[in-house]
Structure 1
Amino acid sequence: MWHADGLLQGFYSSKLTRSQVQHDSGLIQAHRNTQRWNENIKLELQHLAAATPAGTSLVAIQRHVAVTLATWDAVWGEYLHPKWAEQRMRLHGAQETVLERYFMKLEEEAGSVSQQEWGTRKQLVVFFGNAGIGTRGGWGAKAVLQACRKVVERLNSGKPTDRVPGKVVTVDEFRTSRVSSILNSPQPCEEELDRSKPTRLAGWKPKPAGKPQIADNIY
């Protein structure tokens, strides 16, 4: 957030955790359902796990075939139940929907702040680093970036009162980490910084290194 004169006013912090995505997309509930439904064929699954066809032994392969045939009706009688297909359909695209809903909320909150500050909704610019979400299914930085761009850079309806299309700028995360104490205290250069000017004071030199501090990644 910036002042009218272009100086930085402050930061707006927003967080989306892995557990949030898993919960809101239904992954956690689906995992619980799978565990509960598999109880119906628990014995058959144990027999299949024990009769692994690993290796090249003819005896092991024959045993695996025999156990598969013996448990076939029970296992597929359970897995062909419509509830499994319905669950897969609910999960299809669910994580992407959660991410898009998050960026929509972020856009709306930023627009509200802009409206209060300047009386109009200015363009939202998102600086995107390497933000991946480690959920089962591989939501890496590329997938999160695509979800962000889909929301922030979408075209408006053409009405004068509609939102201004935002912009997503990818940034290199090199040197974006901030070395801080556990309390995240300011660095010496920050304490001596003249915030009315865009650069540090002329002739400023860093103080000798003291006690090692903990490095926290803050983006």
Structure 2
Amino acid sequence: MRTAGMLPADITSEEKFRSGVAGPKDSEVANRWNAFLPNLAAVPPNLGQKFAQVVHTDGVAISVMFIRPKPAGPPAELPCMGKQEGAVNPLAHLHADWLGCDPGKTNMATVAHEERYPSGAVKSVWQRSLTAGHYYRQSGITEQAKVSKVWMAGIKPQQDELSQVTNYTASLQRYQEYVATMLATWPAMWAELSKRRWSNARFRLYGGKQRTVAKFWAETVKGARARCNSAATGRPLALAYGAAGFSGSGSIGSKDVPVKQMLKEACKQFPGRVVLVHEFRTSRVSSARTNVVEGQAESF
């Protein structure tokens, strides 16, 4: 992307920038700019958002820059409970009601809380899960994939032509064929992909993904508070988050999931009360013994 430069001082809002686009309102230039600019009426307002008077473009896509207050993020390094058996919880001094979270790709998060008898035996287990399938449906990804196929149906012939050529070649003739195909299909591809509905869809999906993750953790906290009777006991809720090292990228048999976003949102809902723990503490499989741990699970 190239910076189009700082805009004049009197262009203090995105509306003024939109209305100040060069050329008549119905010209090709103005229509292309308007196709790229997001429909802010379809985007939830951000508190304190301010137009930054900076626009980035490469002639194909545009990025309109805004400034808004950024909430404090989680600490660079979360406290971690040691791998060895009998390790000490660094947040034990909080005297909190602890929830355990096992992250994954099929089940993005499985959160559980154990209620025990005075003897230490497990009385009941409360559990909530967010699956990748539920995340895709609730955020709108699944529905948008169907809609996108309908939108792209009109340019399927152009897509079929492009699938027959490639620019990854050492042959000059094949590269020239690629260039010729690109030039021939570009008008139809541009006419479809520059429509406003594509930029609006990207904004909707971004918001849908953020809301789905935030809603899961908010409902988890609400349910856990009711179960633990936090209002009466005054004990805070804390989270033991599985320190699983895996990539959220999609692969054969698994979907792309927001691993970092899940942890980031958990830190927002449990500020200062998240500790990373190793997997055997939630799965009851000891990495030292390579077998299921007998007896009662270790408490946090």
Please state whether the residue corresponding to 2:239 is helix, strand or coil: strand
Q: Does 1:70 align with 2:176?
A: no
Q: Does 1:109 align with 2:212?
A: no
Aligned partner (choices 258, 264, 267) of residue 139 of structure 1: 258
Aligned counterpart, 1:150: 268
Higher helix share: 1
CA distance in 2, matches of 1:188, 1:21: 32
Q: What are the residue-to-residue correspondences of 1:9-158 with 2, within 5 Å?
A: 9-115=123-229, 119-120=232-233, 122-130=235-243, 138-140=257-259, 142-153=260-271
User: Quick one: structure 1 residues 189 and 172, their matched pair in 2 at CA, closer, same or farther if it must change by over 3 Å?
Assistant: closer
TM-superposition CA deviations, 1:132-169 (whole Å, max 9, x none)? 766665522x332111111222xxxxxxxxxxxx7222
Whether the 8 Å contact between 1:18 and 1:134 is mirrored in structure 2 is: no
Structure 1: gaps spanning 5 or more residues: 154-165, 180-186, 200-219
CA distance in 2, matches of 1:92, 1:118: 34
CA distance in 1, matches of 2:174, 2:234: 68
Offset at residue 43 of structure 1 (A): 0.2
Whether the 8 Å contact between 2:284 and 2:293 is mirrored in structure 1 is: no
CA distance in 1, matches of 2:293, 2:186: 69
Q: What is the identity, as a one-letter code, of the residue corresponding to 2:144?
A: A
User: Quick one: structure 1 residues 97 and 188, their matched pair in 2 at CA, closer, same or farther if it must change by over 3 Å?
Assistant: closer
CA distance in 2, matches of 1:47, 1:99: 39
CA distance in 2, matches of 1:148, 1:36: 36
Offset at residue 93 of structure 1 (A): 4.2
User: Quick one: structure 1 residues 69 and 113, their matched pair in 2 at CA, closer, same or farther if it must change by over 3 Å?
Assistant: same
Offset at residue 189 of structure 1 (A): 4.0
Whether the 8 Å contact between 2:116 and 2:123 is mirrored in structure 1 is: yes
Offset at residue 6 of structure 1 (A): 8.7
Greater relative contact order (Cα < 8 A, sep 6+):
2
Q: State the TM-score, normalized to the length of structure 2.
A: 0.50
CA distance in 1, matches of 2:236, 2:119: 15
Q: What are the residue-to-residue correspondences of 1:188-199 with 2, within 5 Å?
A: 189-190=294-295
Q: State the TM-score, normalized to the length of structure 1.
A: 0.67
Q: Does 1:171 align with 2:277?
A: yes
CA distance in 2, matches of 1:188, 1:62: 64
User: Quick one: structure 1 residues 134 and 59, their matched pair in 2 at CA, closer, same or farther if it must change by over 3 Å?
Assistant: closer
CA distance in 2, matches of 1:118, 1:72: 62
Please state whether the residue corresponding to 1:51 is helix, strand or coil: coil
User: Quick one: structure 1 residues 189 and 174, their matched pair in 2 at CA, closer, same or farther if it must change by over 3 Å?
Assistant: closer
Q: What is the identity, as a one-letter code, of the residue corresponding to 2:269?
A: V
CA distance in 2, matches of 1:44, 1:188: 59
Cα RMSD for the two superposed structures = 3.1
CA distance in 2, matches of 1:111, 1:35: 43
User: Quick one: structure 1 residues 35 and 121, their matched pair in 2 at CA, closer, same or farther if it must change by over 3 Å?
Assistant: farther
Offset at residue 88 of structure 1 (A): 0.5
Q: What is the identity, as a one-letter code, of the residue corresponding to 2:237?
A: L
CA distance in 1, matches of 2:119, 2:194: 62
Whether the 8 Å contact between 1:112 and 1:121 is mirrored in structure 2 is: no
Please state whether the residue corresponding to 2:274 is helix, strand or coil: strand
